[in-house]
Amino acid sequence: MRVFVISGAGISAESGIPTFRGQNGYWRNLDPAKLATTEAFQRDPKLVWAWYRERRQRIRAAQPNAAHKALVDLAEHARAFLLVTQNVDDLHARAGLPPEKMVQIHGDIFETRCSRCNWRAEHDYEHEHETIPACPKCGALMRPGVVWFGEMLDSRKIDIVENYLGAGACDLVLVIGTTALFGYISDWAGRAQGGRGRLIEINPEETALSRFATERIREPAAVALPNLVQNLHCRGRC
């Protein structure tokens, strides 16, 4: 079976990581959509770094849940598998999903890179609480290695997704825990399904993508995914 999966913040919700647009998405009464921008960083880099440092700490303390683990199981049994996650956390990786089966399309929160040149710090680099790190090469401010609103996606990551989609339509497409607000997300899901495969949405709420899904599972991911993967195994469909 050829499988394509898209995940969003909802898959990590049951690990205790707040979603962006959910009830707990606000931080110190601030809207994440306004913090995750180059403008916010230029205006108040200390504030933006404080938000990312807190999120890093919360993610380090969190554990992958049953949904992350079920995807690892599915990836092991599928003939071909690619996950595109919008999540910058490392819970898919820590659940055991191999790096070559995954694209973090919005970057990696544990990466720290220069806001001007291409210098990157060691992965997992942490700096003093009150300081903002400066690039040792050019002196500009360092920033988290994530994609902010209005920024371009990494073209090498797009190529990985395009190559996978170009190699054939998928039998199974899962869209898990995302509001699917970005055009490229629903576009990739639709193209992967190619008008013939199953496109299953796993999300307790209706989204922009719901009407394109062939099946909708209105349950939390950590409940729905282990059942779904178990069912696929029982029917020998992987």
- Rounded to 5°, angle at Cα 229 from 91 and 101: 45
**174, 193 in Cβ contact below 8 A?**
no
State the DSSP H helix or E strand holding residue 74, giving kind and residue range, or none if neither.
Answer: helix 66-77
| Token couple for 86 | 């919008």
Shortest Cβ distance from residue 147 to ligand APR (Å)? Answer: 7
Closest residue to ligand APR using C-beta atoms: 10
Least distance between ligand APR and beta carbon 87 (Å): 6
Q: What is the Cα–Cα distance from 140 to 89, expressed in whole angstroms?
A: 25
Q: Residue 142: left if φ>0, alpha if ψ -120 to 50, beta else—which one? A: beta
CB of 202 to ligand APR, least distance (A): 6
Rounded Cα gap, residues 8 and 188, in angstroms: 14
Residue 233 is a catalytic residue: no
- DSSP-derived 3-state class of residue 55: helix
Nearer to ligand APR, 86 or 186 (CB): 86
For residues 2 and 12, which CB has a smaller minimum distance to ligand APR in the complex? 12
The smaller minimum CB distance to ligand APR, of residues 10 and 64, is found at 10
The catalytically annotated residue of 68, 106, 123, 233 is 106
Q: Using CB under 6 A as the criterion, which residues of the chain lie in contact with ligand APR when the complex forms?
A: 8-10, 13-14, 19-22, 32, 86, 106, 177-179, 202-205, 207, 220-221
Instruction: Report in angstroms how near the CB of residue 179 gets to ligand APR at its nearest.
Output: 4
Match 């939390």 to its residue by tokens.
220
| Closer residue to ligand APR (CB): 196 or 218 | 218
Residues classed as catalytic: 106
